[in-house]
Amino acid sequence: MKRDLWLFESKAIEKGFSYIAGIDEAGRGPLAGPVVSAAVLLPTSFRDPDITDSKKLSPKKRSYLYEKLYDQAVSIGIGIIDNIEIERINILNASLLSMAISVKNLSPQPDYLLIDGKFRIPTDLPQEPIIRGDALSISIAAASIVAKVSRDRLMERYDMDYPQFGFSKHKGYPTKAHKEAIRTFGCCPIHRRTFKGVKEYL
């Protein structure tokens, strides 16, 4: 039986909320680059059977859905925290802060938030953390796609500045090729210097 991805949104609407946004992030695990969050406010008429957790989609399908979401969403907000701030406040706090920033960048502002994961974000808005939310809520799934594509495109841009690291291929994640590049070339300005896999080569 196919899961109803509008279930959490529908429950929030039944409670009297009107603008329900889904929030997710991309980039907690990499050794380089920012963490990027997206907040997505969908119209209640939105339907697309392909919307799901971004990790289950091919890059081509993600890009297609990214464009569709930007075309049809009520609003999309992005929040970005760079590697310097990640090192200063740690990756969990940076992720939650980027989520809060993405919400602030929505217009109209939501009155209820569905957050991927188990942590609340720093905002006074009513919110509901949902573990594996990107597979359970259409709004969070949409946010996961926007966050992932947004971050991937940033890393492809960084690849032009630091081509020796291959960021366009691995997007900063700790692949064998990336770790080998760090051993060979050291680290560049976007590497997370406090992370294992980087700090050993400073």
**The CATH number of the domain where 45 resides is what?**
3.30.420.10
Is residue 51 within 8 Å of 141, Cβ to Cβ?
yes
Number of domains into which the chain is organized: 1
Residue 159 lies in a domain: no
Cis geometry, peptide bond prior to residue 108 (ω within 30 degrees of 0)? yes
DSSP secondary structure, 7-20, as one string: HHHHHHHHTT---E
Residue 126 lies in a domain: yes
Residue whose tokens read 């690291």:
165
Q: What percent of the chain has pLDDT over 70?
A: 99
Claim: this prediction has a pTM higher than 0.95: yes
Is residue 13 within 8 Å of 20, Cβ to Cβ?
yes
Taking only the tens of pLDDT, the chain with its 202 residues reads 457 899 999 999 999 999 999 999 999 999 999 999 999 999 999 999 999 999 999 999 999 999 999 999 999 999 999 999 999 999 999 999 999 999 999 999 999 999 999 999 999 999 999 999 999 999 999 999 999 999 999 999 999 999 999 999 999 999 999 999 999 999 999 999 999 999 999 8
Q: How many other β-carbons are positioned within 10 Å of the β-carbon of residue 28?
A: 12
Residue 118 lies in a domain: yes
Question: What domain range includes position 128?
Answer: 7-153
Residue 39 lies in a domain: yes
Q: Report in angstroms the alpha-carbon separations of 85 from 32, 89, 124, 178.
A: 12, 6, 23, 22
Residue 25 lies in a domain: yes
Residue 198 lies in a domain: no
pLDDT in tens, 53-103: 999 999 999 999 999 999 999 999 999 999 999 999 999 999 999 999 999
Residue 70 lies in a domain: yes
Residue 200 lies in a domain: no
